[in-house]
Amino acid sequence: MVISKISTTVNSDIKKVWNVVTDFENYLWRSDLSGCKIIERGKSFAEYTPSGYETIFTITEFKPFERFELIIENSNISGRFTGVFTENENGGTVIEFTEEAKAKKVILNLILKIYLKKQQKRYLRDLERALEF
């Protein structure tokens, strides 16, 4: 199992950050996606890369403005995502994302940690741009 954790502070209200991150139907701010489909509202959704690759997410915990957890599943990996949100004293938001994943193909184990870290950094860059508007 590979674990990748990333944390940052954004200069936005926790409610705004939470709403952008957890609005799974509004994905246009994300440069890594070409689509998103709600499978069962409040329970599961699918994300699609620009090449059409599908990843299924199942929501296992959802505490508004605080924490959410997802099970991640696609043909290459399975794992868990945890997002923790904390309001700081300046009205900003501290975000901590942790991904725990296991590659389904042995060769992918060699690059999985690098891939997860790269995806997390891209996600945070996109999120910071989305919060500017």
Q: Give residue 83's identity as a one-letter amino acid code.
A: G
CB 116 within 8 A of CB 99: yes
- Mean pLDDT for 96-103 is 98
pTM to 2 decimal places: 0.93
Q: What is the mean pLDDT of the chain?
A: 96
- Mean pLDDT for 99-105 is 96
Neighbours of 97 (CB within 10 A): 21
Task: Count how many Cα atoms sit within 13 Å of the Cα of residue 14 in the half-sphere of its side chain.
Answer: 18
Domains and CATH numbers, the chain: 2-26+60-131 (3.30.530.20)
> 113 to each of 1, 5, 110, how far by Cα in Å?
10, 10, 8
Give the model confidence (pLDDT) of 5-53 as tens digits. Answer: 999 999 999 999 999 999 999 999 999 999 999 999 999 999 999 999 9
Chain centroid to CA 2 = 16
